[in-house]
Amino acid sequence: MTALDTPTRTNPAPAAAGPTTSRPTGQLHDIGLVFGRELRPVARDPFSVVFGLIQPLFFLGLFTPLLVASSGQSTADTLQWFVPGVIVMLSLFGTSTTGANLQVEMQTGSHERTLVSPLSRSSLMIGRALKEIVPALVQALVIIGVAIPFGFRPDAAGLVVGLTVLAVFCVGLGALSYALALAVKENQWAFWAVQQTLLFPVMLLAGILLPLEGAPGWLEVASRLNPLTYVVDAERALVAGTWDGDAVAGAAAALLTCVVGLFVGAKTMRASS
């Protein structure tokens, strides 16, 4: 056999090594990705944040004169009591409706695409819930800015702590709203039926619009069972610069709402398909 007849064995050339990328698998990284994804539409179209201010501004402009006339107090003193309640009401309205956005994603198929992504299910829920802090705080600062020229004088340190307590509460409430949307899936009527049925009793029993002192005994009992009552009382105490039991109870109620909301929301998200 000649050399020409000898078969030659050639080794395939190694493939060119392309750039390799590794995705961090940390929970905080995943949460940050979801948080940024959820916040970008708000930044591109802030109309929803502005639109959410219309109703609270009407409450502030129409209820304040009625409260001044009924209580006999000055406008400044009335605003010290009323503005913290309006801020909580604003956050309640905004965060309790966010589940409707998730229902739209389920209808368009966007939610299913996020479920098959490498992101953990719990980070999908936590990132969404954390997004609720930003519009709530922006709207709260606008309300405070509108009320200051009319005599509202919040304590600076108390205001910072109060807004922090409110942010914690918004995370929990937003997570519960998303959990409700996942539970009823694409049945929008069911989401709004539950949300509207619970929203106004919770708001009224918290004493946001009218004080509950002297109310019938059963109303006072129902008010004490309402976590939002303690959040409202804490906001009023902190804005006035009073660091007492109301502030502690409100912070505890906000933290409890946050923990329960994230637990229920993350569990519902993990079970979703």
pLDDT digits (tens, 9 = 90+) for 26-58: 778 888 888 888 888 877 877 777 777 888 888
What residue type is assigned to position 228 of the chain?
Answer: L
pLDDT at residue number 258: 93
Mean of all residue pLDDT scores within the chain: 84
Q: How many domains does one find in the chain? A: 1
203-218 pLDDT, tens digit each:
989 988 888 887 788 9
pLDDT at residue number 41: 81
Q: Check pLDDT > 60 for residue 22.
A: no
Choose between 193 and 123: higher pLDDT. 193
Q: Per the domain annotation, does 210 fall within a domain?
A: yes
- Domain of residue 62 covers 46-271
- Calculate mean pLDDT across residues 168-172: 92
Q: Report the half-sphere exposure of 257 (CA within 13 A, side-chain side).
A: 29
Q: Per the domain annotation, does 144 fall within a domain?
A: yes
Q: Check pLDDT > 90 for residue 157.
A: yes
CA–CA dist 11, 155 (Å, integer): 77
Q: Per the domain annotation, does 86 fall within a domain?
A: yes
Q: Per the domain annotation, does 203 fall within a domain?
A: yes
Q: Per the domain annotation, does 98 fall within a domain?
A: yes
| Whole-number Cα distances in Å, 118 to 34, 124, 212 | 12, 11, 50
**DSSP 8-state assignment for residue 119:** S
- Calculate mean pLDDT across residues 177-192: 89
Angle between helices 188-205 and 227-239 (to 10 degrees): 50
Q: Per the domain annotation, does 227 fall within a domain?
A: yes
- Calculate mean pLDDT across residues 232-251: 93
**DSSP 8-state assignment for residue 26:** -
Q: Per the domain annotation, does 182 fall within a domain?
A: yes
Q: Per the domain annotation, does 34 fall within a domain?
A: no
